[in-house]
Structure 1
């Protein structure tokens, strides 16, 4: 009789462990998705702002057509990645960020553009969006760190495959966007 009770006790403990681990995986995944939704809102605001920014720059830098087209292409590519494909979305956003920097580099070469009230307003709005993105990115990366650490450490690693653990990439600034943009007029 005591063997049956011991076996039953082990089964209950293992069952409780499975429930706790499963719930932690669900909680972590939902926190990452919630954090991503905050980023997604800011990204959509940025997408809406980009066409106005490009149109403003066109008036002053018409012969910079390739720069402007690359911004629009990067925007469209980023918009076409579904929001639930977080890792792919991060890569597309880093590319968009790099092309946006080229527009602001153009403003340095065109003093009239730099002084344009519409451009300044758009630049300020974009700056606010980028600040929001930075805060949201920090929160997102914290939730990703917690999710990934749990899925790769004990006891989570034992059950990761069974509970469809999902590894998420950090949303880090691409090192290429940290480099100075070169503007040339050929």
Structure 2
């Protein structure tokens, strides 16, 4: 069967909540995430609220009747959020770049593909599905620097790492999308303006 990747409504995504939970567990139970059933349940509770965020968009990867991946995104608010990993990203970029580059941009929040469906281009297709309609190209995401597979995937997909945490293997990195106008203003590791 051919796996279909398509944008979906919040209602359709939530109707597939148990499938999303199963993919979440499959994708995030291993290193470096080590997340279990309680994390997956917490994600579903968060997702139920996230669908009401301004600019919310989602996509599913479906193989026959089985959900094998999904992605969600929304518009980053102004002022910049102070929850989760956002303060670390803001500290790394600085207040001005954070406001100019990230606030009002499309923030990719989650992207997951079941292990058995990887290496078929689904991650890239899901990423494209939740960002392609952004005419100004202002899209961004963050991930753990310990997730070396994710870091390599985003780089292959044309995303540019905008923050470079300490090399100790902890922290988070922000990536700017392939059409983000600030991509060329990103400084390499160890150098700041």
Q: Same fold (TM over 0.5)?
A: no
* Structure with bigger RCO (C-alpha 8 Å, 6+ apart): 1
Greater strand share, structure number? 2
Structure 2 length-normalised TM = 0.30
Greater helix share, structure number? 1
Structure 1 length-normalised TM = 0.31
